[in-house]
Protein backbone atom coordinates (compact mmCIF):
# COMPACT_ATOMS: atom_id res chain seq x y z
CA UNK A 1 0.00 0.00 0.00
CA UNK A 2 1.31 3.46 -0.92
CA UNK A 3 1.90 5.82 1.97
CA UNK A 4 0.40 9.23 1.31
CA UNK A 5 2.55 12.22 2.19
CA UNK A 6 0.77 14.68 4.48
CA UNK A 7 2.14 18.17 5.02
CA UNK A 8 0.63 20.92 7.14
CA UNK A 9 1.38 24.60 6.74
CA UNK A 10 -0.15 28.03 7.20
CA UNK A 11 -2.25 29.16 4.24
CA UNK A 12 -3.97 32.39 3.27
CA UNK A 13 -7.65 32.79 4.11
CA UNK A 14 -8.41 33.12 0.38
CA UNK A 15 -6.96 29.61 -0.09
CA UNK A 16 -9.55 28.08 2.24
CA UNK A 17 -12.45 26.61 0.25
CA UNK A 18 -15.91 27.18 1.67
CA UNK A 19 -16.75 23.61 0.60
CA UNK A 20 -14.33 22.20 3.18
CA UNK A 21 -15.36 24.59 5.96
CA UNK A 22 -19.01 23.59 5.51
CA UNK A 23 -18.16 20.04 6.64
CA UNK A 24 -17.61 21.37 10.18
CA UNK A 25 -19.88 24.43 10.19
CA UNK A 26 -23.06 24.31 8.09
CA UNK A 27 -23.55 28.09 8.10
CA UNK A 28 -21.84 30.23 5.45
CA UNK A 29 -23.09 33.26 7.40
CA UNK A 30 -21.19 32.16 10.53
CA UNK A 31 -18.10 31.28 8.49
CA UNK A 32 -18.19 34.70 6.83
CA UNK A 33 -18.05 36.27 10.31
CA UNK A 34 -14.95 34.47 11.59
CA UNK A 35 -12.92 33.85 8.41
CA UNK A 36 -11.75 37.43 7.69
CA UNK A 37 -8.44 38.08 9.44
CA UNK A 38 -8.08 34.47 10.57
CA UNK A 39 -4.93 32.41 10.81
CA UNK A 40 -5.55 29.46 8.51
CA UNK A 41 -3.76 26.16 8.18
CA UNK A 42 -4.00 23.53 5.49
CA UNK A 43 -3.35 19.80 5.54
CA UNK A 44 -2.16 18.61 2.15
CA UNK A 45 -2.12 14.96 1.12
CA UNK A 46 0.10 14.44 -1.89
CA UNK A 47 -0.11 18.21 -2.57
CA UNK A 48 -3.94 18.22 -2.54
CA UNK A 49 -5.79 20.17 0.18
CA UNK A 50 -7.50 17.61 2.41
CA UNK A 51 -8.22 19.59 5.57
CA UNK A 52 -8.22 23.07 7.06
CA UNK A 53 -8.19 24.76 10.43
CA UNK A 54 -9.28 28.36 11.00
CA UNK A 55 -8.44 30.31 14.16
CA UNK A 56 -9.23 33.89 15.02
CA UNK A 57 -9.57 35.99 18.12
CA UNK A 58 -12.97 35.81 19.76
CA UNK A 59 -15.02 38.50 21.49
CA UNK A 60 -12.80 38.25 24.58
CA UNK A 61 -9.62 38.71 22.49
CA UNK A 62 -8.56 35.09 23.01
CA UNK A 63 -7.47 32.87 20.12
CA UNK A 64 -10.22 30.42 19.26
CA UNK A 65 -10.35 27.59 16.77
CA UNK A 66 -13.54 28.27 14.86
CA UNK A 67 -13.32 25.48 12.31
CA UNK A 68 -11.35 22.32 11.71
CA UNK A 69 -12.48 20.05 8.90
CA UNK A 70 -11.17 17.21 6.77
CA UNK A 71 -12.83 16.24 3.49
CA UNK A 72 -14.96 13.09 3.97
CA UNK A 73 -12.84 10.79 1.78
CA UNK A 74 -9.75 11.58 3.91
CA UNK A 75 -11.39 11.33 7.34
CA UNK A 76 -10.34 8.68 9.87
CA UNK A 77 -6.77 8.70 8.55
CA UNK A 78 -5.21 10.85 11.29
CA UNK A 79 -5.19 14.05 9.22
CA UNK A 80 -7.39 15.99 11.67
CA UNK A 81 -5.22 14.85 14.56
CA UNK A 82 -2.03 15.98 12.83
CA UNK A 83 -3.67 19.26 11.82
CA UNK A 84 -4.84 20.09 15.34
CA UNK A 85 -1.47 19.09 16.80
CA UNK A 86 0.28 21.44 14.33
CA UNK A 87 -2.07 24.32 15.15
CA UNK A 88 -1.70 23.90 18.93
CA UNK A 89 2.11 23.79 18.61
CA UNK A 90 2.00 26.87 16.36
CA UNK A 91 0.14 28.91 18.97
CA UNK A 92 2.27 27.58 21.80
CA UNK A 93 5.44 28.52 19.86
CA UNK A 94 4.25 32.11 19.38
CA UNK A 95 3.71 32.43 23.13
CA UNK A 96 -0.02 31.89 23.49
CA UNK A 97 -0.94 30.51 26.91
CA UNK A 98 -4.31 29.13 25.87
CA UNK A 99 -6.56 28.66 22.91
CA UNK A 100 -10.29 27.99 23.00
CA UNK A 101 -12.80 26.25 20.82
CA UNK A 102 -16.48 25.52 20.93
CA UNK A 103 -18.04 22.19 20.11
CA UNK A 104 -21.17 20.19 20.79
CA UNK A 105 -21.71 18.85 24.28
CA UNK A 106 -21.56 15.19 23.30
CA UNK A 107 -20.19 12.91 20.66
CA UNK A 108 -16.95 12.18 18.92
CA UNK A 109 -15.92 15.83 18.47
CA UNK A 110 -15.80 16.50 22.20
CA UNK A 111 -13.85 13.28 22.80
CA UNK A 112 -11.44 14.21 19.97
CA UNK A 113 -10.60 17.52 21.64
CA UNK A 114 -10.37 15.99 25.11
CA UNK A 115 -7.63 13.66 23.81
CA UNK A 116 -5.57 16.80 23.16
CA UNK A 117 -5.99 18.02 26.72
CA UNK A 118 -8.96 20.31 26.13
CA UNK A 119 -11.31 20.50 29.08
CA UNK A 120 -14.86 21.84 29.24
CA UNK A 121 -14.89 25.29 30.81
CA UNK A 122 -18.52 26.20 30.24
CA UNK A 123 -21.64 25.20 28.36
CA UNK A 124 -23.87 27.67 26.56
CA UNK A 125 -27.31 26.12 26.29
CA UNK A 126 -29.20 26.43 23.02
CA UNK A 127 -26.11 27.84 21.26
CA UNK A 128 -26.84 26.06 18.00
CA UNK A 129 -30.56 26.81 18.15
CA UNK A 130 -29.84 30.49 18.78
CA UNK A 131 -27.08 30.86 16.17
CA UNK A 132 -28.14 28.55 13.32
CA UNK A 133 -31.33 28.74 11.31
CA UNK A 134 -31.36 24.99 10.54
CA UNK A 135 -31.26 22.26 13.20
CA UNK A 136 -27.86 20.67 13.87
CA UNK A 137 -27.66 16.87 13.83
CA UNK A 138 -24.86 14.55 14.83
CA UNK A 139 -24.96 11.06 13.38
CA UNK A 140 -28.61 11.64 12.50
CA UNK A 141 -29.60 12.68 16.02
CA UNK A 142 -30.54 16.18 17.13
CA UNK A 143 -29.30 16.59 20.70
CA UNK A 144 -31.98 17.30 23.27
CA UNK A 145 -29.90 20.19 24.60
CA UNK A 146 -28.13 22.10 21.89
CA UNK A 147 -25.20 22.97 24.11
CA UNK A 148 -21.92 24.53 23.11
CA UNK A 149 -18.96 23.44 25.19
CA UNK A 150 -16.24 26.06 25.50
CA UNK A 151 -13.04 24.08 25.91
CA UNK A 152 -9.42 25.06 26.48
CA UNK A 153 -6.29 22.91 26.36
CA UNK A 154 -3.81 22.55 29.16
CA UNK A 155 -0.52 23.70 27.54
Dist. CA 23–CA 40, nearest whole Å: 16
* Of 46 and 125, the one with more pLDDT: 46
Tell me the pairing of strands 63-70 and 100-104.
Answer: parallel
User: pLDDT confidence of 27, banded at 50, 70, 90?
Assistant: confident
Contact 37, 66 (CB under 8 A): no
Separation of alpha carbons 81 and 43, rounded Å: 10
Q: DSSP secondary-structure letter at 3?
A: P
Burial class of 134 by CB neighbour count within 10 A (0 to 12, 13 to 18, 19+): exposed
CB of 65 closer than 8 Å to CB of 101: yes
Residue 14's φ and ψ, nearest 5 degrees, are: -70, -15
pLDDT at residue 1 greater than cutoff 70 = no
Residue 2 has pLDDT above 80, yes or no: no
Phi/psi zone of residue 138: left (φ > 0), alpha (ψ -120 to 50 degrees), beta?
beta
Mean pLDDT of 8-34: 93
Q: Do residues 22 and 31 lie in contact, with contact meaning Cβ atoms separated by under 8 Å?
A: yes
Give the burial string for 88-110 (b: 16+ CB within 10 Å, else e).
bebbeeeeeeebbbbbbbeeebb
Q: What is the pLDDT of residue 139?
A: 61
Cβ atoms of 61 and 14 within 8 Å: the answer is: no
Amino acid sequence: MDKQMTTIRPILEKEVPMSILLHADPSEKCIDQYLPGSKCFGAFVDDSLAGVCVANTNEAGVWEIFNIAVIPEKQKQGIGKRLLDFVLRYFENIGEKSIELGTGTFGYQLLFYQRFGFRVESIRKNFFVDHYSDPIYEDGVQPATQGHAQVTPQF
